[in-house]
Amino acid sequence: MRRVLTYGTYDLLHYGHIRLLKRAKALGDYLIVAISTDEFNAGKGKKAYHNYETRKEMLEAIRYVDLVIPEETWEQKIDDVKNYHVDVVVMGSDWEGSERFEILRDYCEVVYLDRTEGVSTTKIKEELGLQEPENGVSQIPTPELKDR
């Protein structure tokens, strides 16, 4: 069995995500998706609209995804490849050349796939006026505040 692993936040799920997951699954038999936990995102200065559990549940409902695991640190990638017997790590082409993924070539194949043109979570947030400002204070409303 050929195992494929990819990483991401997968917030505001869109057709670009689905297309990436479909192409990643086509590279093997079993697709593992590691999604950033809320704590890991906070450490990167990011805030997802949906919490980790909701994002995990959405990904588990996608037919291309076989397993969803938490991404808690940048450093866990080698352990993930070893522990899940991964043959291929797939990332978007914007990560190409990054040492965070190039280091994995000693353990498995690394493939970069082109992003789907015209769509991204950042673009969606910008168009909805939900983009996080430079000062790091999120403008993304929390569900409990939206209902008031």
Q: Which of 22, 25, 44, 123 is flagged as catalytic?
A: 44
CA atoms within 13 A on the CB side of 13: 16
Q: Which of 46, 47, 56, 77 is flagged as catalytic?
A: 46
44 flagged as catalytic? yes
Catalytic positions, written as ranges: 44, 46
